[in-house]
A and B are shown apart, each in its own frame.
Chain A
Amino acid sequence: MMSRRFLADKIWLSLAFVAVVIAVIPLASILYEVTRLGISSMNIDFFTKLPPTLLPGSVGGMGNAVEGSLMLVALASLIGLPIGLLSGVFISEYGNNWYGSTVRFLGDVLVGNPSIVIGILGYILLVIPFHGFSLVAGGVALGVMTIPIVSNTTAEALKLVPNSLREASHALGIRKWRTSILILANAKSAVATGALLAIARVMGETAPLILTAGISTLWYSGPFQPVASLTYYIYYFSTSFPSHSAEFDLAWGAAFILIVIVMGINLGVRIITRGTTGHA
């Protein structure tokens, strides 16, 4: 009887281990497949040429997609980071009241919003009035996605700084706004972590771009024109072209470069902040 319990114990514990292995397999498979199928497309042409057409001798690349993704993310950060940062400062420094907790709560809830709904919002507010898909619409939509993320991670990061620092600073007669900046400076690595992770997340989004930025076969041609993006091109090329075609291979190449950038940021951030606060 005792041994039966011990046996059950061993089974349950090994099941937990099996669960971990099962969780790891997809990641390994994704990384392996994306690398295997995508790395052959990594050459200078990929970054400098436009998508291939059917004219003879047309060599294609995704230069405009890489450029477009970077621009979208840049615009999204320009919009989302300052707003999110100051919002986080509010929550942690001035927000020990009902309003602060409401902002906090809504921010948490907004983080989980479906990205297609943000696309709808962007379409209604930015595409229809400006008569078309545009970089601005895409950037703003992505920026709106980053605001709640950055706001809450900043608030969390600032809360980690112990209160004694604030008290000491007040005791010395330093003004409140200066104190807040001091605290922010203290938590800057955690804040930067949150910002970087928000940027990495937004870089991999497709659904809002379908409805706001559209797609473009040309180089960037103005803020109020549609702009290409890596994610949309992956979606479009992989579902509209046969396997073993140039476009299909380019889609995997784009997936590869996207993974490299996004996971590179995630990896880098977590390696650098490892062993300090947070999970093991």
Chain B
Amino acid sequence: MSQGGWPIAILYGFDYRTCRLPINYVPERLRARMKLYKTGASGTTIGLVVVLVVVVVAAGAYIALNPGGGTTTITQTSTATSTATSVATSVATSTATSTVTSVSTATSSTATYYPLTLQAGGSTFVNPIMQVWATSFNQYTNSAVQTNYQAIGSGAGITGILKGTFEFAGSDAPVSNSQSANYTSVKGPLLTIPETLGGVAIFYNIPGVSVSLNLTGLIIAKIYLGQITTWNDPAIQALNPKTTLPGNTIVPVHRSDGSGTTYALTNYFEKVSKDWNASFTSGCPCYGTSISWPAFEIGAKGSGGVAAYVQQNTNTIGYADSYYAFSNKLTAAAVQNSAGHFLVPTIANIASAASDFSAQIQANPTFAITNAPGAASYPIATYTYILVWQKQTNQQQGYDTAHFLWWVVNQGQAFGPSLFYPTLPASVVTIDETIIAQMSYNGVPFITV
């Protein structure tokens, strides 16, 4: 052994019976040489890493063991129900200043709910009120039921419910048979419940123009087809003689993701514009959640994306739920309805469109309510549907979901008006209740009407 080897070897536990060194024996000189090759302030880095890892893993373990999803016992509430709700009244009038005015919610119910999280997702059209519903229902059930609604677009919502990722989905477009055939044959019927009313606002950002332009469905369709390219096109100017329109090129903005709002708008285009139908070479129905838009347009993700893009870029025009026009402080166009009146979307005229079709909705809840015939009806109105399986596979989740949906069509409607969603007509509420009552587990319905 090298210099200094023997005495140190004995120090480190050299076994003189078997003449073996311990495993971790390292001679002094080698030790010194090893030190030379150390790269960097090893101690500090190692310390950093260890501390980081320990902290993160400890935090993760703590959180993992205490998920924020509530306690493990079913909450029993003993306070009496306060059913009085003061509905927000000052709504459609003051568009510049109205926020969600105070609505005192119906606090705690006496019923028992299973403490769990409902996973849901879909339409961005309905997202503003859906988030309010989620929080309010959570208060209503004394923090038992949490709802996570992911606003990823109607198309993704439909996928989610069909694949079983979501308990329920929000979609402005009903599910077609071809989409659901594979799944309904296995899982049973898919219930489609119209739970929200809304209007598709057409908004724009034109430098120097802050009034609501009069537009017809035909003109809007032509803009999106690329046939009308400038603001001061004769067709638009003719309807708006008092407004000076610039000669800038229009940049239309559409939805890049699968959107029920697109469905409603293109459904409307199909009814009012022969140009629209003709431009689809594969024939009609030429409306849907995802269509091939023609040249030079921008695709934005989500209703919020469209509104945000229009707000930030001049000479753009876009479409989204009327709430987004308001929250982005964008001017909405006055669209001509089938009776010839030019209407900016308001709660009253959207509700009027819904009531125009109440008979058709009775027969078929997925009837599209665009181009309503009434004189005071907004032409591009649409229902948002909640999609949920009739035969639930989990008793607790099904129970909570059914009660959430029931709450939405009843108490939840109070939150609508301040967010630009009209309340559902009473006839539709009755239809919805009938549909929700069909939800069952092992043949036993959750709610008896």
Contact = CB atoms under 8 A, between A and B. Distances in A.
B45 A192 contact: yes
B220 interface: no
A267 B150 CA distance: 35
Contacts of B121: 214
Contacts of A56: 99-102
B62 to A, nearest CB: 11
A55 B119 CA distance: 21
Nearest to A277: B39
A14 interface: no
B258 interface: no
Nearest to A157: B39
A165 B33 contact: yes
Contact of A239 (B305, B311, B419): B305
Contacts of B151: 240
Given A174-B25, A187-B39, 6 more contacts: A169-B26, A172-B30, A188-B46, A215-B152, A220-B67, A239-B305
B132 A218 contact: no
A221 B38 contact: no
A196 B60 contact: no
Interface string B106-141: 000000000001010100100011011011100000
Given A195-B49, A221-B67, A226-B150, A241 B21 contact: no
Contact of B40 (A133, A223, A272): A272
A221 B150 contact: no
7 contacts: A53-B134, A56-B101, A133-B165, A157-B39, A225-B119, A243-B312, A277-B40
A71 B63 contact: yes
Interface stretch (A73-81, A94-102, A143-151): A73-81
Interface string A113-147: 00000000000000110011100000000000000
Given A54-B128, A272-B41, A242 B135 contact: no
Nearest to B138: A218
A53 B39 contact: no
Interface of A: 53-56, 58, 64, 67, 70-71, 73-75, 77-78, 127-128, 131-133, 157, 160-162, 164-165, 168-169, 172-175, 178, 186-190, 192-193, 195-196, 214-223, 225-226, 239-243, 245, 268-269, 272-273, 276-277
B327 A217 contact: no
Contacts, number: 182
Nearest to B133: A53
A74 B163 contact: no
B48 A128 contact: no
Contacts of A220: 63-64, 67-68
Interface in B267-316: 300-305, 307-308, 311-312
Interface stretch (B51-59, B208-216, B367-375): B51-59
A221 B48 CA distance: 30
Nearest to A245: B327
Interface of B: 20-21, 23-27, 30, 33-34, 37-42, 44-46, 48-49, 52-53, 56-57, 59-60, 63-64, 67-69, 99-102, 117, 119, 121, 124, 128-129, 131-132, 134-136, 146, 148-152, 160, 163-166, 300-305, 307-308, 311-312, 327-329, 419
B148 A241 contact: no
A101 B119 CA distance: 46
A195 B151 CA distance: 35
B27 A172 contact: yes
Given A71-B63, A222-B117, A226-B150, A217 B134 contact: yes
Contacts of A243: 308, 311-312
Given A55-B100, A70-B59, A220-B67, A273 B21 contact: no
B327 A242 contact: yes
